[in-house]
């Protein structure tokens, strides 16, 4: 069973979750810049609360994962090394990263939120060809140095996903082609 949330309230369910042999619990942490989070996700829980929850889950032995998705462009003076160090300190077993999707529908709403803020450049960055490739390569190198497994969801070449392995073995990486084959075989 896999549980993904943005809400630190998942802590209240740890007794129940700990009863399962094969449970994965993760939090979505798309940025470390809480000021950016307040602009883009004003109703969402703060970043420090999410990181503290990941640490709490790790401390009770649940081996949490984190979703750095949709990954915000770097801001607030925070770079790849800061991101990797924060997730290592939070005790995550693996970090999955993904780019902003559904841009045609998301960008008009995003532009309304970021206009007149320090984050106006986000809309240009996420549309730039190669932006996420460069970002994810820098993150993969930083996570490798920290010894934290890092995987890119939906990497450009789905036959060869970007994977940086640390000392903890993460879940098996399955390409979209393999997943399609498994779905056909199961039906």
pLDDT of 59 higher than 80: yes
User: Over the stretch 17-39, which tens digit does the pLDDT of each residue have?
Assistant: 888 888 899 999 999 999 999 99
Rounded CA gap, 114 and 110, in Å?
6
- Report percent pLDDT > 90 for the chain: 59
CA dihedral 112, 116, 121, 127 (to 10 degrees): 20
- pLDDT at position 102, please? 82
- pLDDT at position 180, please? 34
- pLDDT at position 155, please? 54
- pLDDT at position 20, please? 86
The model's pTM: 0.80
Query: Domain 2-186 - what CATH class?
Result: alpha beta
The residues facing 94 across adjacent strands are: 65
- pLDDT at position 110, please? 84
Q: Which residues contact 69 (CB under 8 A, 6 or more apart)?
A: 28, 30, 96, 97, 98, 99, 153
Which residue matches tokens 């994977």? Answer: 163
| Contact assessment for residue 8 and residue 49, using Cβ atoms and an 8 Å cutoff | yes
State whether residue 149 is helix, strand or coil.
coil
The residues facing 150 across adjacent strands are: 95, 164
**Using 50, 70 and 90 to split pLDDT, how confident is the model at 111?**
confident
Cα 83 to chain centroid distance, Å, stands at: 10
Give the burial string for 28-65 (b: 16+ CB within 10 Å, else e).
Answer: bbbbbbeebbebbbeeebebebbbebbebbbeeebbbb
Task: Report the mean per-residue pLDDT for the chain.
Answer: 83
Which has more pLDDT, 61 or 173? 61
- pLDDT at position 106, please? 84
User: Over the stretch 121-170, which tens digit does the pLDDT of each residue have?
Assistant: 888 898 899 999 999 999 999 999 999 999 999 754 433 333 433 333 33
pLDDT of 178 higher than 50: no
Residue 182 CB neighbours (<10 A): 11
Q: What are the boundaries of each domain within the chain?
A: 2-186
């Amino acid at each position: 069973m896999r549980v993904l949330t943005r809400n630190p309230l998942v802590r209240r369910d740890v007794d129940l979750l700990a009863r399962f042999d094969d449970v994965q619990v993760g939090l979505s942490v798309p940025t470390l810049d809480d000021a950016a989070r307040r602009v883009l996700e004003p109703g969402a829980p703060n970043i420090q609360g999410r990181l503290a929850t990941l640490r709490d889950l790790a401390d009770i032995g649940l081996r949490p994962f984190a979703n750095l998705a949709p990954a915000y462009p770097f801001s607030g003076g925070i770079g790849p090394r800061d991101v990797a160090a924060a997730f290592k300190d939070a005790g995550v077993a693996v970090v999955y990263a993904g780019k902003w999707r559904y841009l045609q529908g998301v960008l008009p709403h995003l532009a309304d939120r970021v206009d007149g803020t320090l984050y106006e450049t986000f809309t240009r960055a996420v549309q730039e060809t190669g932006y996420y490739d460069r970002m994810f390569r820098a993150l993969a190198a930083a996570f490798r140095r920290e010894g934290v497994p890092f995987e890119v969801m939906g990497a450009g070449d789905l036959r060869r996903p970007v994977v940086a392995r640390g000392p903890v073995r993460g879940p098996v990486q399955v390409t979209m082609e393999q997943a399609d084959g498994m779905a056909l075989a199961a039906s």
